[in-house]
Structure 1
């Protein structure tokens, strides 16, 4: 049961990271996205390339987690768990780096890291039971 709940949280974490991808790689200079990230039009234009790259990083983490869920559901439990943990563990690590590098980003780090944290804890707990 812990694996099932953990995989649901891995899926939710992946969805959030796909959303972050869209914001950073597709909509970075749009006014609504600039409000989310607190950037001006000039700052958004200057950092457009960096945000584009960072968005794809988030997308790739989501893909790893989703592939892990699919592989786990297909019955290859060890490989699926390894992929889910690689994806969500990296998401969690990125959230920790964000909050440790800039305390004013605590809300963003919480949004980015809450579901991955729950996924990691539940998947590891499932392995220990």
Structure 2
């Protein structure tokens, strides 16, 4: 179950790398605006700095998961699992905030939140938590 937890957490990390790209690199693009419901390029320009910052928050969660998986691979399960739980758990929490604050984004919240939730659950079972 540890491997399954890390695989789900890895999928979540890949999704959040893409979110980082949309928010921090491609925010004013048509694709990013459509994904986040930003009507105009002017609105995207106005919020670009906020999105840039938010994208890096997502990237830092990815770093926690990747570092945690590496640490687990080297045998420090408690430390590695703590990092994975922190990164993936924060992703789950962010998806809940998204769906509560913007119910129309429920599909996006599910995409953002289900893989890390499954990762946390499988990892917890796998380490006997």
1:123 is displaced (CA, Å) by: 1.1
Helix, strand or coil: the match of 1:128? coil
- Residue by residue over 1:70-128, the C-alpha shift from the partner in whole angstroms, topping out at 9 and shown as x without a partner, is 10011111111111111100110000111111111101101110110100111111233
Helix, strand or coil: the match of 1:79? helix
TM-score, scaled relative to structure 2:
0.95
Alignment of 1:1-129 (within 5 A): 2-39=1-38, 40-128=40-128
Structure 1 ranges of 4+ moved more than 4 A: none
Find the aligned partners of 1:68 and 1:4 in 2 and give their Cα distance. Answer: 12
Aligned length: 128
Find the aligned partners of 1:41 and 1:117 in 2 and give their Cα distance. Answer: 34
Runs (5+) with no aligned partner, structure 2: none
- Residue by residue over 1:43-72, the C-alpha shift from the partner in whole angstroms, topping out at 9 and shown as x without a partner, is 101110110000000000000000000100
Runs (5+) with no aligned partner, structure 1: none
TM-score, scaled relative to structure 1:
0.95
